Amino acid sequence: MKLPRFLHNWITRHAQVALNSLGRLYRTPSSSLMTAAVIAIALALPSSLYLLTGNLQRLSTQWDGNTNLSLFLHRSVSPQQADALQKKLAQMPEIDSLQLITPEQALAEFRALSGFGEALDVLDENPLPAVIAVKPDKNHSGADAAAALLDKLRSLPEVDLAQLDLQWVRRFSAIVDIVRRSIWVMAALLGLAVLLIIGNTIRLEIQSRREEIEITKLIGATNGFIRRPFLYSGLWYGLAGAVLAGVLVEIAFLQLYAPVSRLAGLYQSSFGLHTLSFTDSLGLLATGAVLGLLGAWLAVGRHLAAIEPT
């Protein structure tokens, strides 16, 4: 395949300018690296918080899988009736497994765990009801499906009180959601900071190349031609910052990986930290590139017009 000549020329010219800009950054490694590092830190902060809350959200959906319904039966329900109910419920397709806890078992457990054993001795009879702990199957573990099942079970005549142990998971999820939203605000502010950093760097570069800009204008350079290398500089700064930010985030999460796995192991959970995915990384790079270009564009627009040859 052969490209039309003008397109070929255009690509060659841009590739040349892009490489030249890159070479210019490469020739001043320490200051370029410094700028890229500042950008990287500004990008790494919201990225890592975003990942962290993403992981927390994943954690809370995992807990959704452990949904449990507790059916407290009327005191008047006899042990035989409770047994019959348990058998009946076991037939329901929504239910994965269930366990009947008789008042006697409940009392024994309470006595053993609560430390109020002696106080219970004062009571004439067992105040505790029989409880059936229901574990819904996978398809009915979600918050909404579980709530529907809860309503269905609540209407059974033997059931006094039906409870879903999901409330706190929902609250946790809501909190994570709020934090996630506030990260966007922070990301916007830090994005603005990146714009300013790149804008300022490009401004300095424009000033140091003032003579060159004047001369090229004198011999017929268009504004586009003069703008181009600075825009590429901005792009490279943004990309370098994004790559460094990615490395910073990966290093930080690598430090957390082992302790989190150990903690998850203690809870018999298979939970593992997720780090930057392929799409996340692409998004980070794109953000860096866009911010870099935009910052350079703003600086160039403001400062290039002011330089006219004399």
Partner 1 sequence: MIRFDNVCKRYPGGHDALQGVSFHLHTGAMAFLTGHSGAGKSTLLKLIALLEHPTRGQLFLDGENLSRTPKRRIPYVRRKIGMIFQNYRLLFDRTVFDNVALPLVIAGYRHQDVGRRVRAALDKVGLLDKERALPITLSGGEQQRVGIARAVVNKPPLLLADEPTGNLDPELSRDIMHLFEQFNQVGVSVLIASHDLDLISQLPYAQLRLHQGRLVKSVAGAAT
Chain contacts with partner 1 (rule: CB under 8 A): 9, 12-13, 211-212, 214-223, 225, 308-310
Largest Cα–Cα separation, the chain? 106
Between 65 and 309, CB nearer to partner 1: 309
CB 133 within 8 A of CB 70: yes
Instruction: Output 175 or 215, the one with its CB closest to partner 1.
Output: 215
Minimum distance, C-beta of residue 308 to partner 1, in the bound complex (Å): 8
Q: What three-state secondary structure class fits 276?
A: coil
C-alpha–C-alpha distance, residues 27 and 20, integer Å: 10
Structural Rg of the chain based on CA atoms: 32
Nearest-angstrom CA–CA distance, 160 and 175: 32
Q: Which is nearer to partner 1, 14 or 274 (CB)?
A: 14
> Do 76 and 158 meet the contact criterion of CB atoms below 8 Å apart?
no
Smallest distance, Å, CB 303 to partner 1? 17
* Shortest Å, Cβ 201 to partner 1: 19
Minimum distance from residue 198 beta carbon to partner 1 (Å): 23
Rounded distance, CA 24 to CA 16, Å?
A: 12
Question: What is the closest distance, in whole angstroms, from the C-beta atom of residue 228 to partner 1 in the complex?
Answer: 11
Strands (E), the chain: 69-73, 95-101, 131-136, 159-164
* Number of other residues whose CB lies within 10 A of the CB of residue 263: 11
Identify which of residues 140 and 228 has a Cβ nearer to partner 1 in the complex: 228
Nearest residue (CB) to partner 1, 131 versus 226: 226
Sole residue written with tokens 């809870």: 267
Question: Shortest approach of partner 1 to residue 235 CB, angstroms?
Answer: 20
Distance spanning both ends of the chain, measured CA to CA: 47
Q: Which is nearer to partner 1, 200 or 223 (CB)?
A: 223
Distance CA 227, CA 297 (A): 8
123/305 with CB nearer partner 1: 305
Least distance in Å: CB of 18 to partner 1? 14
The two beta strands, 159-164 and 95-101, are: unpaired
Q: Give CB contacts under 8 A, 24+ apart, made by 266-270.
A: 269/62
Please say which residue, 177 or 211, places its beta carbon nearer to partner 1: 211
Q: How far apart are CB 225 and partner 1 at their closest, in Å? A: 6
> Rounded to whole angstroms, how far apart are CA atoms 267 and 257?
16
Which residue has 């985030």 as its token pair? 249
